[in-house]
Structure 1
């Protein structure tokens, strides 16, 4: 347990736990909405916020949050109202955000090491100020994703039905986008902006291999997120490997493992359902007729 002694590891582990909770908690709604790559796009935009932080000598986490939220709102508006040129507008937003961030970091006096730490994560650079910002933002994400889970699930499942029931669909869609943006900035110090989308999607996909209900998927995906972020952080301390890549590879490993476990379970469920159907048919065979006759018919 010597990895708990360094102060930077204590900060990194706390940040890892918060990332492991928040990323899948938001990702489950994005996966349901078929917007699995939204986090990747927001990560590109957030890079401009990081660059502005260096340029203005401000905390890059807070600046990235402001820019990512603004970018997420624009993305949601393009999704809702964009027509044939919507994809082009999103592409310009994503690539412009990344290019602008790289340029601003260099102009603001940042180094390539600073750039790489935000792109792929870095444990040693997580400061006390970063942990404070991450904790506040994570609290917001958890409050939204858990407190409004019924409303967010309804909107993610079927917007038209949610609108008929009287839910503020447009406001909830914007809230999902803003929460995803906040999650990206929460995770960027540990996983990195280029890999945060994987942590929002892969644990959810892994959980869906075994679970059927929304509640079970939510709990299992968050559990998976916490386990892989902690495992990746500890591995990085001992093996000196990139934290973001390590965490994502662990998440993919969990997905493969659960997929292998789910295959025989699915076959058992199919056989049980088939047997139940056959038993149901047998029980409804009229008197005087043989079950075999009904099977042939």
Structure 2
């Protein structure tokens, strides 16, 4: 139990709670726009940036963030070029991210073990700089979502109607994609690039089953994410388990219980 009061665990808890706010806040708009897979795409690109950061001596999380934001611009450009096949943009960028990551892995074999921590998550190694970056991203996400909540809501349900009503659709699309890139690039050290999309989508999936309004689904998805983060970290800390995997498995368990509960309720 002493681990729960250690400095590194407290930093992990702080970082996890911050990501527990931002991931579902952005995830709800991605799910409604059928762009859930963008999380995996930007996570792979972020890993390429992290690998380059280790290779060049640059702050790895910062390099990953830059790569993710650049990839978000590329995705939006490709989405416009292939309007009828928007999923192509995600497939193309993901392929490029995996290719770059593989290339950087082969160029810097000595740091592969460090990069692996970003693949599977290494929340216990969060330092003060990481917390500052996560904190700044959290503030940015909360402020932007609060200011443009109604616009993002309309864009998520009917992009054409948003355009006709005079909303700056192109700018709003770019804002959502950039915020997604920021959230993912900061979340990969917490749950890992292979699991990061779970924090974006599973809390939203649960909230959509339980909520009766869009606003309540947003609030509930954040609450669910925070429960999973705190519960997963405590369980992982006590029983010496992988924290990222424990958080995601707890989310899946909550989803399964919700589905069972909904099935058992009268229509």
TM-score, L = length of structure 2: 0.93
TM-superposed deviation, 1:130: 0.9
**Which residue is 1:10 aligned to?**
10
8 Å contact kept, 1:47–1:102: no
For 1:157 and 1:85, how far apart are their aligned partners in 2? 18
Q: Secondary structure at the match of 2:125?
A: coil
**Which residue is 1:283 aligned to?**
none
**Which residue is 1:71 aligned to?**
71
For 1:23 and 1:8, how far apart are their aligned partners in 2? 22
Q: Secondary structure at the match of 1:35?
A: coil
TM-superposed deviation, 1:106: 5.3
Q: Secondary structure at the match of 1:77?
A: helix
Pairs aligned (count): 267
**Which residue is 1:129 aligned to?**
129
| 1:270-293 Cα deviation digits (max 9, x unpaired) | xxxxxxxxxxxxxxxxxxxxxxxx
Equivalence map 1:32-71=2 (5 Å): 32-71=32-71
Q: Which sections of structure 2, spanning at least 5 residues, go unmatched?
A: none
| 1:257-277 Cα deviation digits (max 9, x unpaired) | 12222234451xxxxxxxxxx
Larger radius of gyration: 1
Equivalence map 1:84-233=2 (5 Å): 90-105=90-105, 107-108=107-108, 110-233=110-233
For 2:146 and 2:154, how far apart are their aligned partners in 1? 13
TM-superposed deviation, 1:88: 5.4
Q: Which sections of structure 1, spanning at least 5 residues, go unmatched?
A: 268-297
TM-superposed deviation, 1:76: 1.8
TM-score, L = length of structure 1: 0.84
Further displaced range: 222-231 or 87-96: 87-96
Taking a change above 3 Å as real, the CA distance of residues 259 and 117 of structure 1, as seen in their structure-2 partners, is: same
8 Å contact kept, 1:45–1:71: yes
For 2:232 and 2:18, how far apart are their aligned partners in 1? 14
**Which residue is 2:24 aligned to?**
24
For 2:198 and 2:27, how far apart are their aligned partners in 1? 9
- The structure carrying a bigger helix percent of its residues is 2
Taking a change above 3 Å as real, the CA distance of residues 119 and 32 of structure 1, as seen in their structure-2 partners, is: same
8 Å contact kept, 2:11–2:124: no
Q: Tell me how large the CA RMSD over aligned residues is.
A: 1.9
